């Protein structure tokens, strides 16, 4: 079976920076592979494009530019958050609000974000919400260890909804989620 839309895919890989140092970022091994439903937008678009059509046992070795991965670092993602936003019972938690710390936050639309504390002033905390790998080229090298049909509960989990009682229709349970 080949990797295609709505197939469960499991891969192992090494992820390195695509530069002269080629420092290891992440190593995913067979005892805990990356498993995902292909074609639902849960992975980087160009990561998926490089895997499309591969089958169990196939090796892969590809590079993504910063634009194909997490984009370039943007100044718009570096913002000043009022210091008051970090107060609990009228006090700022100084163990949490420290330069270099990553703090989970939520935007006004309810989206979860992670910001890195860059600077602290008397009235604001400068936070960087760029992805930690923004501005970086990436090099993936690995192997496909499984391609299979998804179980119904995997489709439901990947889409946020399950199949309706009247069937899934021609698009499958995820049909464009």
The percentage of the chain sitting over the pLDDT mark of 90, rounded to a whole number, equals 72
- CATH 2.40.10.330 residue spans of the chain: 75-128
- Can you tell me the distance from the alpha carbon of 34 to that of 120, in angstroms, rounded to the nearest whole number? 37
Please check the confidence at residue 154 and state whether its pLDDT lies above 90.
no
pLDDT of residue 130: 95
Task: Enumerate residues 6+ apart whose C-beta is below 8 A from 118.
Answer: 78, 99, 126, 127, 128
User: pLDDT tens digit string along 72-126?
Assistant: 999 999 999 999 989 888 898 888 999 999 999 988 898 899 999 999 999 999 9
pLDDT tens for each residue of 3-28: 999 999 999 999 999 998 999 999 99
CATH of 8-70+134-159, one of 3.40.50.1220, 3.10.50.40, 3.30.1330.200, 3.40.190.10: 3.10.50.40
Which residue shows structure tokens 């995820």?
A: 174
CATH code of 75-128, in short, is 2.40.10.330
CATH 3.10.50.40 domain residues, the chain: 8-70+134-159
Cβ-contact 174, 158 below 8 angstroms:
yes
> In the prediction, which pLDDT does 94 show?
85
13: β partners: 28, 142
The predicted structure's pLDDT at residue 66: 97
């Amino acid at each position: 079976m080949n990797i295609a839309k709505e197939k469960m895919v499991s891969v192992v890989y090494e992820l390195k920076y695509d530069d002269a140092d080629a420092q290891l970022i992440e190593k995913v091994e067979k005892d805990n592979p990356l498993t995902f439903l292909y074609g639902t937008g849960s992975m980087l678009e160009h990561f998926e494009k490089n895997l499309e059509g591969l089958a169990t046992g196939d090796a892969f070795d590809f590079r993504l530019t910063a634009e194909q991965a997490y984009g370039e670092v943007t100044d718009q993602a570096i913002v000043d958050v009022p210091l008051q936003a970090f107060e609990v019972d009228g006090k700022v938690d100084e163990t949490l609000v420290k330069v270099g710390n990553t703090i989970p936050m939520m935007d006004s639309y309810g989206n979860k974000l992670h910001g890195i504390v860059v600077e602290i002033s008397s009235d604001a905390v400068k936070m960087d919400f760029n992805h930690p790998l923004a501005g970086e080229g990436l090099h993936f090298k690995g192997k496909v260890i499984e391609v299979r049909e998804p179980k119904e509960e995997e489709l439901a989990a990947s889409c946020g909804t399950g199949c309706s009682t009247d069937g899934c229709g021609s698009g499958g349970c995820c049909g464009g989620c």
